[in-house]
Structure 1
């Protein structure tokens, strides 16, 4: 399936979702539709709708899962598990345990729980403790920009082997290097630094140089390089997709021309990058090159970023448990 066909499939899935959930934030459904395409899983509108309703019914009256985040959670569970309802019950247990361990009740904790759901349940306590330690170390380095929306990437970073101090030092080395090369300080720079830290094959200097070069290429290709797009630079750097910039622009323009999508141009750019990068998961050459310890974890990082950005604003005004 070509990347253009993937984009059209995503649009079609979104339309089916939108038909049944007209009052839901379009961005949430756009992201949910992209999950099916990235994971290359078939979409059944009735099954998906039933799962969304099941999640709502199984959640407490004040739970974030009764808000729009359930549409994202349903897509995630439906594309990763043969029995998503059973997986949801495990997911709830993981979230509750995270709260007991010291994570705060936020929509980002639910997103982090999705990432942690992949782990062996017998190892969850250790993973949670390590994730909290990573988060606290991140906050000690950047107290003014580290917040609960960094939970998901803290979990992903904690899944890497090695001493935590070494992981944090590497992330800070990338952060400082990118800043010295023109990247603006702030949460988006911290995020791309976290993402690039997931690549354990290349040294920090190499990753900084690649990201800087890619940023220049994007500018030359008339593609945005605002700080909000640093995660996209990170994904393209990790997959070394420097020859696919025209595809990204083409898919972005295709989405910008769609009736519903045209109002969310920044998200369209993110989705275009995600669709192009997702093809790397299908290419044996990527795995053979030993570029990453786990391409799936890298893709989870990008999906987490989009999900967090889409649901964060929608959930911020709601109380939750």
Structure 2
């Protein structure tokens, strides 16, 4: 039930307020509360604090595992069986990525994405493929592709068998959507990254995107800007767009009344990401026979990546929001 997920989200958000070393991590707390909620887990403050200690003990003061990534990494570690061993593996993968990319904070989340596939494919192979995917992104959109796209590159690298076909599909989606009212730019590119993870032709996927977008416009509920990747997940995993629109408005109203989820503290865009994520996953769990579930099951277990897609979008959004706040205060 969506009500249960909303209640768990609020509880997780409140629990994360008690985590140490995170007094400036407001938006990150909400995004990590979402990550735990989508996995049906309650935040374990004691374990998260323990994982923060592990990170601080095993990384330097200026490490990219600190700062914006400290809470996210600690939360991800807290749900693993052996956090200290896992963190060491995070670092190893991170160091491998640094050989292919300039050092930046997005490599931290990319290392954790790759970690989730370490038993399925060689880590070295995935790291090399991540760079290949990123280079193809830059080849197609040199000035749009930035460090934040490394996370999507890592996810594509773990799920894609044919890069040429994937990028042909991606560019076709970009062209179709741009001609149908979607603004060209980084957000549209990020959306096409997500669409490439799903089955179906570019035309089929874009038609669903356009239909969902029109439904949301009629209801005056917009998912745009850096929220666009979530719209792609919803369009391809939800069949009743009118119901989704009503549920989105309903969940938004409930969350807006909760501490830390209002327009001033969180903002409508990030709240839309959170609300849409809860509704999307709840829909998938509730209707195992739905068309959306069948699409997901036939697309390289993309259901296992839904939370990861949400986490990438939420983390990128949180980083963007954090930078905006820092700039306005300077």
Q: 2:319 aligns with which of 307, 311, 314?
A: 311
CA distance in 2, matches of 1:137, 1:38: 31
- Identify the residue that residue 148 of structure 1 maps to in structure 2: 147
Classify the secondary structure of the residue corresponding to 2:116: coil
Query: CA 1:160 to 1:20, structure 2 compared with 1: closer, same or farther past 3 Å?
Result: closer
Counterparts of 1:36-55 in structure 2, within 5 Å, are: 36-55=36-55
Question: Normalising by structure 2, what TM-score?
Answer: 0.88
Query: CA 1:226 to 1:163, structure 2 compared with 1: closer, same or farther past 3 Å?
Result: closer
Query: CA 1:118 to 1:237, structure 2 compared with 1: closer, same or farther past 3 Å?
Result: same
CA distance in 1, matches of 2:57, 2:66: 8
Matched, 1:176 2:180: no
CA RMSD of aligned residues (A): 2.0
Query: CA 1:280 to 1:125, structure 2 compared with 1: closer, same or farther past 3 Å?
Result: farther
Query: CA 1:182 to 1:163, structure 2 compared with 1: closer, same or farther past 3 Å?
Result: same
- Identify the residue that residue 192 of structure 1 maps to in structure 2: 191
Matched, 1:91 2:90: yes
- Residue 174 of structure 1 and its aligned partner are, at CA, apart by 0.5
Query: CA 1:279 to 1:142, structure 2 compared with 1: closer, same or farther past 3 Å?
Result: same
State which drifts further: 120-129 or 165-174. Answer: 120-129
CA distance in 2, matches of 1:152, 1:33: 20
CA displacement 1:80-109 (0-9 Å, x = unmatched): x22222211111111011112x12211111
- Residue 50 of structure 1 and its aligned partner are, at CA, apart by 1.8
Aligned residues: 313
Which runs of no fewer than 5 residues in structure 1 stay unpaired? none
- Identify the residue that residue 278 of structure 2 maps to in structure 1: 275
Q: Verify the 8 A CA contact 2:176 2:206 in the aligned structure 1.
A: yes
CA distance in 2, matches of 1:291, 1:276: 21
Query: CA 1:32 to 1:177, structure 2 compared with 1: closer, same or farther past 3 Å?
Result: same
CA distance in 2, matches of 1:315, 1:124: 31
Q: Verify the 8 A CA contact 1:281 1:296 in the aligned structure 2.
A: no
CA displacement 1:262-297 (0-9 Å, x = unmatched): 121221111001111122453432544545322112
- Identify the residue that residue 304 of structure 2 maps to in structure 1: 296
Query: CA 1:249 to 1:157, structure 2 compared with 1: closer, same or farther past 3 Å?
Result: same
Query: CA 1:305 to 1:39, structure 2 compared with 1: closer, same or farther past 3 Å?
Result: same
CA distance in 1, matches of 2:116, 2:283: 21
- Identify the residue that residue 226 of structure 1 maps to in structure 2: 224
Which runs of no fewer than 5 residues in structure 2 stay unpaired? none
Query: CA 1:12 to 1:225, structure 2 compared with 1: closer, same or farther past 3 Å?
Result: closer
Q: Verify the 8 A CA contact 1:111 1:308 in the aligned structure 2.
A: no
CA displacement 1:160-184 (0-9 Å, x = unmatched): 3433222111100011111011100
Query: CA 1:56 to 1:238, structure 2 compared with 1: closer, same or farther past 3 Å?
Result: farther
- Residue 124 of structure 1 and its aligned partner are, at CA, apart by 1.1
| Higher RCO (C-alpha 8 Å, min separation 6) | 1
CA displacement 1:203-251 (0-9 Å, x = unmatched): 1000010000000011112211433331221111121252322121111
Q: Verify the 8 A CA contact 1:195 1:231 in the aligned structure 2.
A: yes
Query: CA 1:161 to 1:232, structure 2 compared with 1: closer, same or farther past 3 Å?
Result: closer
Classify the secondary structure of the residue corresponding to 1:183: coil
CA distance in 2, matches of 1:221, 1:292: 31
CA distance in 2, matches of 1:3, 1:198: 25
CA distance in 2, matches of 1:16, 1:287: 32
